[in-house]
Amino acid sequence: MQHRKLHELAKTIRSKNAGVDRITFDIIFRDRWTYDAVRRSGALSRAAVLALYCLPESRLTDFVEFDPAFAIKFTITRLRPSGSPGDSDIFGAQQYAPLLDVEVVLPDNEAFEQPC
């Protein structure tokens, strides 16, 4: 089995506000091959995201695998509106950090280099 961190495989990993009461996350890959390999691994499934962020299912409002952009996107509801007292991340831009070290496990027969 091969083990890689998500930040080694993705071109972009980011979070940002999606209105005042939601944060959206984007994980974008350079090519279809890597995107498909990560999807098959299950490392970024709906259940994996809920576990990673310790969220009840009700807070994960959207989870989309967007094939045309080789992207996985999800949106969560905030506990408090952006900019309200006690909000520690007004732009929602610091919430992606747990995704960086998500371990992606693939069988040995799936190399991480795109085939020729």
CATH of the domain at 49: 3.30.70
Tell me, yes or no, whether 55 lies in a domain: yes
Contact 43, 100 (CB under 8 A): no
Global pTM reads: 0.89
Q: What is the DSSP string of 27-62?
A: EEESSHHHHHHHHHHTTTSHHHHHHHTT--GGGEEE
- Give the range of the structural domain holding residue 38, as residue numbers without chain letter: 2-80+92-100
Tell me, yes or no, whether 25 lies in a domain: yes
* End-to-end Cα distance, the chain: 22
User: pLDDT digit string (tens) for 57-88?
Assistant: 999 999 999 999 999 999 999 999 999 999 98
